Structure 1
Amino acid sequence: MEHSGTATVAERPEALLLQVDGREVASYVWRSRLPASTAPRPFLHPVRTLAGTLVTDARPHSHTHQLGISIAAPDIGGRNFWGGRTFVPGHGPAWLDDHGAQRHRRWLRHTDSALAHTLNWVDRDGAALLNERRSIACGPLTGDAWTLSVRTRLANATEGPLQIRSPAALGRVGAGYGGFFWRGPSRSERVRVLSPAGAGERAVNGTTAEWVAVSGGAEGREWTVVFTAADETTAADRWFVRSRDYLGVGSSLTWDRPLVLEPGGAVARHILTVVADGTLSDDAAAALAAAARSAP
């Protein structure tokens, strides 16, 4: 994050720390004070394994709008809630003054291991497009792994139909991102992407695999992050995966067709992320995903 030790109080982010068995594993930045071009929003960073290994990145030089673990969308009613450039059909990515922001409204709960709050997704003039209820919780899974639960409900706050679209819906093949998104650490070696659909970005991107696992490491500290859906609706969404130019995994609200919310309409999603020390095999990753889904 781009905050120096000399930042003023007005510039500092506001965050809550989350713990598992007394160990700090994540920080939830609920008021980020970022530039408009990043589509300012709450995010989780840093996120660490139980041994303290970092498994997220925020505002990396090449993609300064990617923020740890967040919920974001590139096109909601023609506004960019992803950050960075906007994909324009027939032209490609372009810098536009169309960025929205997510604003915290009210805390419903916050403890050492769980939080819930309401948010508004607003355009640059402050008009609300979506109302959201979000809950985040973390808990132990094994001696080397813990589970992060991210649940969201997004409701249309406008008086008309509201379209949610990915760049793939506008013609950018394979770019079906939008929704839950994890940005992995930039300094990673021996990166592996695994899932029941196969190994590697090409095999997994765009699939509805039961789980997706990414392993990496740096300076001898290896880690694995496993993603799985907590309910049938979320399990029907496709995975967006990148591992060549950067590390990223998302569960896509919509792939290559618009998702339309009628007035008063809503969508709900629930993703489980297992954060583990070490490099895991296919069988071990599958077992952790199953354990996370069956945990109370």
Structure 2
Amino acid sequence: MTEPISLRIGDRRVADYAWQPRLPETVSPRPFLHPVRTLAGTEVTESMPADHQHHLGVSVAVADVGGANFWGGRTFVPGRGPVYLPNHGTQRHHRWTTREAASVRHELRWIGPAGTDLVRERRHIAAVPVNDRAWALDFRFELTNVTGEPLAFASPATNGRPGAGYGGFFWRARRGDRRIHVLGPDRTGERRLHGQRTAWLALTGAGSDPWTLIFVAGDPAQPADLWFVRSRDYAGVGSSLAWDQPLVVGSGTSLSRRIITVVADGRLRSREVADIAGEVAALDDERPP
């Protein structure tokens, strides 16, 4: 694997970006961030855990792009359930446009199992100071359909598996022995927030080195995607591009998303989380990604 790039807040190394990893085909190889750390050094991501080896820290992953699996693992097939198919795609680094200590921009190719380019991506990742306990990962991506036909972004849910609307930005959190709590603006708990559209969503991990992750839909011009959230069997949060119906993108057309994730030491309370979410939602939204 090519040496990862480190993102820094001052002299603190807060995240490593594996931009050209060597990975098994079955995990749908793609660039990812891992480990991501709090300012105190606590790791808050997992990569290739035993329960889901295709979960790669922080990445953009979609289960079905025109029939190609860019999520990894098995594919949900109606009438058969999840099965391994020879349909895994690869996200491959194309070229850098910016490489700085706290910010990287690059272009990627999403290549289907037949070796054909399906999507070109422009990605911008930045580490932004928040306060003495927290920093924010500003993650933006723009996906352009480079095929000659409309391209459908789908999920296991759109293919018949209820509640499994995952696909898009995804963060696999490091659980360890911690109890995970899920917070939202007006409700709490996985059951009440999974599949909901809220301005922000937070995970808190209790334990000897507690942490809080606050996920903010960062594009005021774009209605927030529904959240995919897990806190019991594992800890993870994603924003869903295709929750209950495919998202069809025309040839030459693009879609863009921005998620800002606050990474904080300590288990923050709901009021603290709401205040910080409001602050980071106002971060400058320069274009393009």
The question of 1:279 aligning with 2:278 is answered: no
Amino acid at match of 1:264: G
From 238, 241, 250, give the equivalent of 1:250: 238
1:177 corresponds to: 166
Amino acid at match of 1:224: T
Separation in 2 of the partners of 1:141 and 1:276?
A: 9
C-alpha displacement of 1:197? 4.3
The question of 1:24 aligning with 2:13 is answered: yes
Alignment of 1:110-129 (within 5 A): 110-129=99-118
CA 1:290 to 1:105, structure 2 compared with 1: closer, same or farther past 3 Å?
same
Alignment of 1:3-22 (within 5 A): 12-22=1-11
CA RMSD of aligned residues (A): 1.1
C-alpha displacement of 1:13? 4.0
Q: TM-score, normalised by structure 2?
A: 0.96
C-alpha displacement of 1:295? 3.1
The question of 1:222 aligning with 2:241 is answered: no
1:102 corresponds to: 91
1:48 corresponds to: 37
1:86 corresponds to: 75
Three-state SS of the structure 1 residue aligned to 2:45 is coil
Separation in 1 of the partners of 2:51 and 2:70?
A: 18
Identity of aligned residues (%): 50
Aligned partners of 2:175 and 2:205 also within 8 Å = no
Aligned partners of 1:70 and 1:180 also within 8 Å = yes
C-alpha displacement of 1:89? 1.1
Aligned partners of 1:197 and 1:203 also within 8 Å = no
2:253 corresponds to: 265
Q: Deviations over 1:167-200 (max 9, x none)?
A: 1111111111100000011414121100024111
Q: Deviations over 1:81-117 (max 9, x none)?
A: 0000001112111011110000000000010000000
Three-state SS of the structure 1 residue aligned to 2:179 is strand
C-alpha displacement of 1:234? 4.5
Q: Deviations over 1:9-67 (max 9, x none)?
A: xxx34310000121000000001110000000000000000000010000001100000
Three-state SS of the structure 2 residue aligned to 1:292 is helix
The question of 1:138 aligning with 2:147 is answered: no
Aligned partners of 1:193 and 1:212 also within 8 Å = yes
Deviates more, 1:195-204 or 1:245-254: 195-204
Unaligned runs of 5+ in 2: 285-289
1:239 corresponds to: 227
Separation in 2 of the partners of 1:133 and 1:102?
A: 12
Unaligned runs of 5+ in 1: 1-11
The question of 1:292 aligning with 2:280 is answered: yes
Three-state SS of the structure 2 residue aligned to 1:189 is coil
Q: Deviations over 1:105-155 (max 9, x none)?
A: 000001000000000000123210000000000111011000110000000
Three-state SS of the structure 2 residue aligned to 1:103 is strand
Three-state SS of the structure 2 residue aligned to 1:61 is coil
Q: TM-score, normalised by structure 1?
A: 0.94
Deviates more, 1:193-202 or 1:244-253: 193-202
Q: Deviations over 1:246-288 (max 9, x none)?
A: 1110011111101111111110000000000000111111111
Three-state SS of the structure 2 residue aligned to 1:167 is coil
Separation in 2 of the partners of 1:247 and 1:272?
A: 18
Deviates more, 1:88-97 or 1:39-48: 88-97
The question of 1:155 aligning with 2:144 is answered: yes
C-alpha displacement of 1:215? 0.6
Aligned partners of 2:39 and 2:134 also within 8 Å = yes
